[in-house]
């Protein structure tokens, strides 16, 4: 059984520590924030303080859902994501582990539209 720390697989934590080190940060104060809206995966915003005061580093951890292979080929999805990432389209791929990946966190606003707006 794979180890789990902070709600993330051990492999993901090793990648996060390596990324933090390569950026001159330490992974102290790691926060794992569950995000909503993913259909087949569990997604988390991972953030930790940088050496700069009042700043934090953010990445996205994606844990692949189980049993979705009947709907699409996971290997095709991974190859497509890597291709797009390598060509500057979408978030950068920062690391992979057996059941997920670490991606660049892109700040965006929710596209939810309140359908009651303007209703009479």
Q: How many CA atoms lie within 13 A of 22 on its CB side?
A: 8
Q: What is the pLDDT of residue 120?
A: 56
Which residues are paired to 102 by β-bridges? 61, 95
Q: What is the pLDDT of residue 1?
A: 42
Q: What is the pLDDT of residue 105?
A: 93
Domains, the chain, with CATH or none: 4-104 (3.30.200)
pTM score, whole prediction: 0.79
User: Left if phi > 0, otherwise alpha if psi is -120 to 50, otherwise beta: which for 6?
Assistant: left
pLDDT along the chain (120 residues), means of 10: 71 92 83 87 91 84 85 87 92 92 84 62
Contacts of residue 37, defined as CB under 8 A and 6 or more positions apart, other chains included, come to 43
């Amino acid at each position: 059984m794979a180890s789990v720390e902070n709600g993330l697989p051990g492999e993901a934590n090793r990648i996060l520590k390596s990324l933090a080190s390569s950026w001159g940060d330490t992974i102290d104060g790691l926060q794992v924030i569950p995000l909503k809206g993913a259909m087949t995966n569990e997604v988390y915003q991972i953030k930790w303080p940088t050496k700069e005061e009042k700043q934090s580093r953010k990445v996205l951890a994606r844990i692949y859902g189980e049993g979705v292979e009947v709907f699409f080929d996971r290997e095709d999805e991974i190859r497509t994501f890597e291709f797009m990432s390598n060509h500057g389209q979408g978030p950068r791929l920062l690391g992979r582990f057996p059941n997920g990946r670490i991606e660049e966190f892109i700040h965006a606003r929710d596209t939810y539209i309140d359908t009651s707006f303007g209703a009479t």
